Structure 1
């Protein structure tokens, strides 16, 4: 819901400030009926898939478990829109749907940072980056949340100039003008030694196939003992321990938000077997992966 309204509200405000209908939109659902968002609120739709008017662009907005409602009917419908020349985009985790339809070839896309590792595992042929938003001649995508504001402000700026975009931004009390390549989040270690920050970025980019600490140090151009000292000095832990904790945090999210088998989650988090994953997960989180999942299903 945050991403959805963050995309639309800048456009509505641009219309109001300009005194013109610069932007128009329709809310589409499968059958034209209301849709329940992840926060439990319902959103009224304007039109069903079968009755969508021709439009130059289409945004797929998704949140947790983005492929839960995907079937061949929806994928074929998206392929038909692409064949008609409609520019397609994804918000938050919407790119999972577009990728499943085979519509992201040769594009650079972004998704919410929590979903990037899983997307890269599922669709290794697609370049997925942790930026706020991406706009190309072929499509667009944003990380969800307030990133949709930045993407819509960029659209206003490109079509109607800096002055209108800045006035809309002021109305939204959105003080920071983020560029597309801005990183979505401040990682742990940001504001500390730049080498630690770079090390953490590398760790986050290699959750499924973890680098050895020596390889990590080599990537940074320093000795592994110096890397150990930097982590102990600034984070009071070894780089090995920090790396494992990041992988276990990723596994915890996958257990909560997907239905992937535990063995697959273990591999996606850089563990060689389900047994080693279970032992590490229990030590860190106090429950086994199976116990966590059963608790979520019963709540």
Structure 2
């Protein structure tokens, strides 16, 4: 910390809370910076050192973020004070950067009772260490399906952030701001949290009840209640797809009306749209998990690997096996 901050602590008698940011390789810069800026601004608005921080990693070297820039850390994985709060910063290909050493360190610090949080995809690493068993958690929506496949003992939500006891998780992006504002209000008061939000030009503070993705109408750019209802049913039933006739019946229309609705607003049939949703989930699972291609096919509603491969190639111009192979080769470069 700067000398001015240390003088402020001495003059006010405040014992600051310390956050320990653990940067994983290819961490998401926005999530990390958003959390750190909230602490800095809280100190500024309070005109006192309410918070201190340090930055460490699973190496003694600089750590690259997902944008390629490298960040010098203050040190490696060390034993922390019992009063510290750990914030693990994840990002791209988090499963590749979840090292045995990091997992061991997390388990050790957790046994000592430290509060531990995961920003963006770091929820995966926390779950891998067993820190989220029986806990509510969240993760970036793109990693949601693969997380569900691997960690069924975690109560995974689609919230912007979660706090369950001394475990915290965020969905990535600006959700770090929402978590930090929540903690600042809890540590001090809402007036300070609101002052920090104003400095960030953050006019809509979200709670752990808010979901991370845009609503279906906003995402597809169409505000039609029946169309939204059908798409929500499709998204909720990927492993066991529902027939167009049942989708139409449950939405209170005929199959022909359903066809016309999709053609008019989305320029494709309901069957084609449903297939694209299933293939998108399959691609995420291929990229983010070690599941076999056969199990990925089953998880996405394909009864046979050959049918899955045929549909995948038609949509992505490559086979599931080649997709996974090319992704693995890019990671090894």
Q: TM-score range by the shorter chain?
A: 0.7 to 0.9
What is the aligned residue count? 298
Report 1:105-254 matches (<5 A): 105-190=133-218, 192-213=223-244, 216=247, 222=252, 225=255, 227-228=258-259, 230-254=261-285
**8 Å CA contact 1:93, 1:112 repeated in 2:** yes
What TM-score comes out, normalization by structure 1 length? 0.87
Offset of residue 227 of structure 1 = 4.8
| Rg (Cα) greater in structure | 2
Structure 1 residues 125-134 or 28-37, which shifts more?
Answer: 28-37
Question: What is the rounded CA distance, in whole Å, between the counterparts of 2:240 and 2:107 in structure 1?
Answer: 33
Question: What is the rounded CA distance, in whole Å, between the counterparts of 1:215 and 1:58 in structure 2?
Answer: 48
Question: What is the rounded CA distance, in whole Å, between the counterparts of 1:28 and 1:199 in structure 2?
Answer: 47
Cα deviations by residue, 1:42-79 (Å, 9 ceiling, x for unpaired) = 11212211344444421222112212233443222212
Question: What is the rounded CA distance, in whole Å, between the counterparts of 1:133 and 1:262 in structure 2?
Answer: 31
Question: What is the rounded CA distance, in whole Å, between the counterparts of 1:227 and 1:157 in structure 2?
Answer: 48
**8 Å CA contact 2:146, 2:289 repeated in 1:** no
**8 Å CA contact 1:131, 1:184 repeated in 2:** yes
What is the RMSD computed on CA atoms of the aligned residues? 2.6
Offset of residue 255 of structure 1 = 4.2
**8 Å CA contact 1:87, 1:138 repeated in 2:** yes
Unaligned runs of 5+ in 1: none
Indicate whether 1:282 and 2:319 are aligned: no
Distance change in 2, residues 1:208/1:89 (3 Å): farther
Question: What is the rounded CA distance, in whole Å, between the counterparts of 1:92 and 1:211 in structure 2?
Answer: 32
Unaligned runs of 5+ in 2: 1-28
What TM-score comes out, normalization by structure 2 length? 0.79
Offset of residue 204 of structure 1 = 2.7
Q: Secondary structure at the match of 1:130?
A: coil
Distance change in 2, residues 1:235/1:5 (3 Å): same
**8 Å CA contact 2:158, 2:212 repeated in 1:** yes
Distance change in 2, residues 1:209/1:119 (3 Å): farther
Q: Secondary structure at the match of 2:302?
A: coil
